[in-house]
Amino acid sequence: MIKIILGSFVLASSIFAVDLQSSGVEVTYKNSNDEDKTITIKREKPEECKDVKFDPKTVYGGKGQAAENINANCKRSFVTYFGKISPIKYSDKVETYGEVEVLDFIEKAKTNKNMMLVDSRTENWFYHETIPTAVNVPYIYLKQSQYPDEFEEYLGILGVKKVDGKYDFSNAKEILMFCNGAWCGQSPESMKALTAIGYPEEKLKWYRGGMQSWLSFGLTTVKP
Report the alpha-carbon distance of residue 74 to residue 137 in Å, rounded: 32
To the nearest 10°, report the CA torsion of 162, 166, 172, 176.
110
Q: What are the chain's domains?
A: 95-216 (3.40.250.10)
How many C-beta neighbours within 10 Å does residue 192 have?
Answer: 14
Global model pTM greater than 0.85: no
Q: List per-residue pLDDT tens for the chain, 224 residues long.
A: 333 333 333 334 444 445 787 788 999 888 888 888 898 988 777 788 777 776 655 555 444 444 566 777 776 556 667 888 999 999 999 999 999 999 999 999 999 999 999 999 999 999 999 999 999 999 999 999 999 999 999 999 999 999 998 999 999 999 999 999 999 999 999 999 999 999 999 999 999 999 999 998 889 999 98
List, in order, residues 6 or more apart from 221 with CB less than 8 Å away: 129, 130, 131, 132, 211, 214, 215
Q: What is the pLDDT of residue 213?
A: 94
| Angstrom distance (rounded) from CA 83 to CA 212 | 13
